[in-house]
Amino acid sequence: MGAVSRHGRLLLVAVLVGAGVFTLGVPPAGGEQAAPQASAKNERIGADVCLQCHTQNAKGWFTLRHNRYRTSASAPEMLTGCEGCHGPGQKHLEDEKFRSILNPKRETGIVATQMCFQCHSTTMKASAWLQTAHAKNGVNCGGCHEMHTDTGQPSLLKAEPTKLCLSCHPDQQAQFKLNSHHPVLEGRVACTDCHDPHADGTMSAPTLKQGEDRCLKCHQEKRGPFAFEHQTSLAGGDDGCVACHKPHGSANPKLTAYFGRGVCLQCHSDIAADPKHLPRAGNCWSAGCHNRMHGSSTNRLFIN
């Protein structure tokens, strides 16, 4: 008694799913656990079978643009259907708990992402991806991309890009509300204008080169060339623009990292004790002196 054919189980679960009961480890009919026949092989069962139980994925799955190749006759079988990403499903059906199939959500590192690199290794390198802060902290492709339903977002994103980033980075949201800020919440600048979500380096503090290229893309007048370049900003210093600016937002005007002359004293601390530089109205630049701090073609001291 209690021995239920796989087909019988399949129908049962399908019925439960249809009734909105989609629970873990639905027991086989009869209440008694039928010892699963452990087969050595793990064969493909086809997307039609998957969709009988996983009905939440059924809606529109075949029409998703991402699946055009996967459902075309010219694609190699191993890349087609649900199993092109999740691997063969036979053992999954034999497993009482319905595990025994790759769930990228439960995995980290290469195991969680190699399904994507089967096809995306020409534009993205797995080795580089694994170095990113996201990969190292268990944020996989599925953390940002939706593979089963059409969200209507570009690049198969789970949500509108900036909202998606902020959902995991709430601290940054506060920075974009400070007095002076990049208009990200206003929708005029996107997180991805500055951050490449797939690359290391640009993902964390951008390197000088990457950082400046990204800033200068929009602030071209700061590019120069200048006869007199300020070493920190344009000629190979380590910090580039972020030596003086908070890229997200700052309580100080013009996104400066420190208030007034504090910006300059970070590096020119000797000036604080220099009698020629006694405090007067304004600061190093607003007093009418070094107001070409981004570089000058006329004055070595960046004075107008």
Report the residue number, 32 or 174, with the smaller CB distance to ligand HEC.
174
Instruction: At 280, give phi and psi (nearest 5°).
Output: -140, -175
Q: Alpha-carbon torsion 207, 210, 214, 215, what sign?
A: positive
Question: Which residue(s) pair with 245 in the sheet?
Answer: 256
Report the residue number, 36 or 143, with the smaller CB distance to ligand HEC.
143
- In whole angstroms, the minimum distance from the beta carbon of 233 to ligand HEC comes to 3
- In whole angstroms, the minimum distance from the beta carbon of 94 to ligand HEC comes to 10
Report the residue number, 140 or 226, with the smaller CB distance to ligand HEC.
140
Question: Which residue(s) pair with 181 in the sheet?
Answer: 249
Q: Whole-angstrom Cα distance, residue 257 to residue 264? A: 10
- In whole angstroms, the minimum distance from the beta carbon of 40 to ligand HEC comes to 18
Residues found in the chain: 304
Question: Exposed e or buried b for every residue in 255-271, given b needs 16+ CB within 10 A?
Answer: bbbeeebebbeeeeeee
Question: Exposed e or buried b for every residue in 33-56, given b needs 16+ CB within 10 A?
Answer: ebeeeeeeebebbebebbbebbee
How far lies 73's CA from each of 40, 68, 167, in Å?
A: 29, 10, 39
- In whole angstroms, the minimum distance from the beta carbon of 2 to ligand HEC comes to 17
- In whole angstroms, the minimum distance from the beta carbon of 73 to ligand HEC comes to 14
Report the residue number, 2 or 59, with the smaller CB distance to ligand HEC.
59
Q: Whole-angstrom Cα distance, residue 82 to residue 89? A: 9
Report the residue number, 2 or 23, with the smaller CB distance to ligand HEC.
23
- In whole angstroms, the minimum distance from the beta carbon of 32 to ligand HEC comes to 18
Report the residue number, 24 or 40, with the smaller CB distance to ligand HEC.
24
